[in-house]
Amino acid sequence: MPPQSNQTIEAAYFARNPKSHALYQRALEGIPRGVTHDVRYLEPFPLYMEEASGSRKTTVDGQELIDYAMGHGALLFGHGRSEIVEAVAEQARRGTHYGAGHELEIAWSERIRALVPSIERVEFTASGTEATMLGMRIARAHTGRPRVMKFAGHFHGWHDYAVAGGRPPFDTSHYPGVPQQALDTVVVAWPDDIDFITHQLEQGDIAAVIVEPSGASWSAMPLSDDFLRQIRRLTEQTGTVLIFDEVISGFRWAPGGKQEACGVIPDMTALAKIVAGGLPGGAIGGRADIMGVLEFRDAAWNREKKIIHPGTFNASPLSAAAGVACLTLAEAPAVQAHAAEMAKRIRTGFNEVIVRQDIPGFVWGESSTFHIMLGQSCTNQRGDDLHLPEGVAPEVLRVGVSGRLGYALHLGMSLEGVALFQEGGMPSAAHTIEDVYRTIEAFDTTLRRMKTEGLFNEA
Ligand SMILES: Cc1ncc(COP(=O)(O)O)c(C=O)c1O
Q: What are the domain boundaries of the chain?
A: 9-78+333-458, 82-330
* Mean pLDDT value of segment 68-76: 98
Q: Which residues contact 104 (CB under 8 A, 6 or more apart)?
A: 91, 315, 317, 320, 321, 324
Fold category of 9-78+333-458 in CATH: Aspartate Aminotransferase, domain 1 (3.90.1150)
Q: What is the CATH number of domain 82-330?
A: 3.40.640.10
* Mean pLDDT value of segment 22-45: 97
212 lines ligand 1 (CB under 6 A): yes
Domains 9-78+333-458 and 82-330 share a fold: no
* Mean pLDDT value of segment 359-367: 98
- Phi/psi at 340 (nearest 5 deg)? -65, -40
* Mean pLDDT value of segment 250-264: 98
3-state secondary structure 373-430: EECCCCCCCCCCCCCCCCCCCHHHHHHCCCHHHHHHHHHHHHHCCEECECCEECCCCC
Whole-number CA gyration radius for the chain: 22
pLDDT, one tens digit per residue, over 226-247 is: 999 999 999 999 999 999 999 9
Residue 122: strand, helix, or coil: strand
Half-sphere exposure of 245 (CA within 13 A, CB side): 28
Among 75, 130, 148, 156, name the best residue to mutate to test ligand 1's pocket (greatest count of ligand atoms within 8 A of Cβ): 156
Distances (CA, A) of 34 to 129, 365, 403: 22, 30, 18
* Mean pLDDT value of segment 181-202: 96
Please determine, for residue 2, whether its predicted confidence score (pLDDT) is greater than 60.
no
Among 124, 273, 284, name the best residue to mutate to test ligand 1's pocket (greatest count of ligand atoms within 8 A of Cβ): 273
248 lines ligand 1 (CB under 6 A): yes
Nearest-atom index, ligand 1, CA of 282 = 10
Residue 1 — very low, low, confident or very high, per pLDDT cuts 50/70/90? very low
pLDDT at 404: 94
* Mean pLDDT value of segment 437-459: 93
Q: Nearest CA to 278 among 97, 103, 49, 87?
A: 87
Mean pLDDT over the full length of the chain: 96
Peptide bond into 44 cis (omega under 30): yes
Q: How far apart are CA 279 and CA 319, in angstroms?
A: 5
pLDDT, one tens digit per residue, over 93-135 is: 999 999 999 999 999 999 999 999 999 999 999 999 999 999 9
Peptide bond into 169 cis (omega under 30): yes
Residue 170 — very low, low, confident or very high, per pLDDT cuts 50/70/90? confident
72 lines ligand 1 (CB under 6 A): yes
Q: Which residues contact 182 (CB under 8 A, 6 or more apart)?
A: 160, 161
